[in-house]
Each structure stands twice: as C-alpha cells, then as structure tokens.
Amino acid sequence: MVVTKQTSKAEKIILGLDPGTSVMGYGVIKISGTKMTMLQYGVIHLSKYANHEVKLRKIFDRVTSLINDYLPDEVALEAPFYGKNIQSMLKLGRAQGVAMAAALQKDLPITEYAPKKVKMSVTGNGNASKEQVAEMLKTLLGIKEIPKLLDATDALGVAVCHHFQGKTGTSSTKSWKAFINDNPGRVK
C-alpha cells in the first residue's frame, strides 16, 4: 500500500523502530489532532540470514520501504540497552545505525528513547514487562490481537512514547539538512 503525503500541521505520522539483529520491530502511527491511530506494525525476520552484512542490508531496505509507503514525518528509535556481551552490543548498534541511515537519507528527524522511558511513557511503569506494554497499546490503539513477537508492539510503544513526549527530532540525531543549517561553518 502506498500512501500519499497530505498531512496538515494537526496531523503527523510517526515511524517507531525497535532495532534488532534477529528480529526488528516496526510500528507506524498517525496523529490527527488528539486522535492516535495505528496504521501498521510488524517485524522484520532477520535470523534466517547468516551473514550480518545481509541482515543490515535487509534492515535498510525494509525501513526505506516503510518510509516510502507511509511517508512518516518523524522517526523514533529505541536506544540500545547496555549489556555484558560487547559483540551483541556492536551488532545492535550497527542495526540501529542502518535504520537511522534510511531515515536520514529522507531528511527525517530522528529521536531515540531508552527502553525504560518508553515503558514509563506507555504504561506509567519504567519496569513494565513487554506484555504489559503490549496490553496498554492494545487499549490505546485498539489492537485486536497482540502479536506473537512483541518486538512489533515494542516499536509501536516507541512511536507512542514519541508522541506523548511531544518532541520533533530534538535528540542529538537530526537530519543532515538540520545539521548543515545549524552548523554552516563546518560544511565545506
């Protein structure tokens, strides 16, 4: 499905992403005034690809496709959490970077949120389980059935958190156009 961009100031589309190297979640919501509607959510299955570079290419291609299909105004990503396995953190960081690159090529503002921030914003509890986040999103967005893979609802949670925070690309990660406008002396 291809959507044409006809948004007013009172309407915006947010793409939420939950980066991963085995499964990556995505969720798209539309805000019209005070109404929040879920447009799409799902996962990108990556575990079937043995080569990490192929996984990164699939992430880039799918995020680019989502951007082309839904024309989001903003992108929100869940920031990686700090774990003990350095190799896993590096791979997760690459997955997040590739997703960001897909958004940056379209000059979309990007904001990152810590997992606890997303959980707090959606459920009121920063230590909520993935299941609790999914149940709250079911209520907020009228989702009929919670998916088997909660990476999809995690991504929707990131988009909803972004809406609740009222931010518009205010993190340190912005589009290249915004960087150039903010730093004209650093570009040659």
The catalytic site residues sit at: 18, 78, 151
Q: What is the DSSP letter of 168?
A: S
Cα 101 from Cα 98, distance rounded (Å): 5
Tell me: is residue 18 an annotated ligand-binding position: yes
Tell me: is residue 78 an annotated ligand-binding position: yes
HSE at residue 115, side-chain half, CA atoms within 13 A, is 13
Tell me: is residue 135 an annotated ligand-binding position: no
Q: What is the DSSP letter of 184?
A: G
User: Which one-letter amino acid corresponds to residue 178?
Assistant: A
Contact yes or no for 87/126 (Cβ under 8 A): no
User: Which one-letter amino acid corresponds to residue 18?
Assistant: D
Q: What is the DSSP letter of 37?
A: E
- DSSP conformation letters of 70-109: H--SEEEEEPPPP-S-HHHHHHHHHHHHHHHHHHHTTT--
Cα 152 from Cα 167, distance rounded (Å): 22
Could you tell me which residues are annotated as the binding site for Mg(2+)? 18, 78, 151
Could you tell me which residues are annotated as the binding site? 18, 78, 151
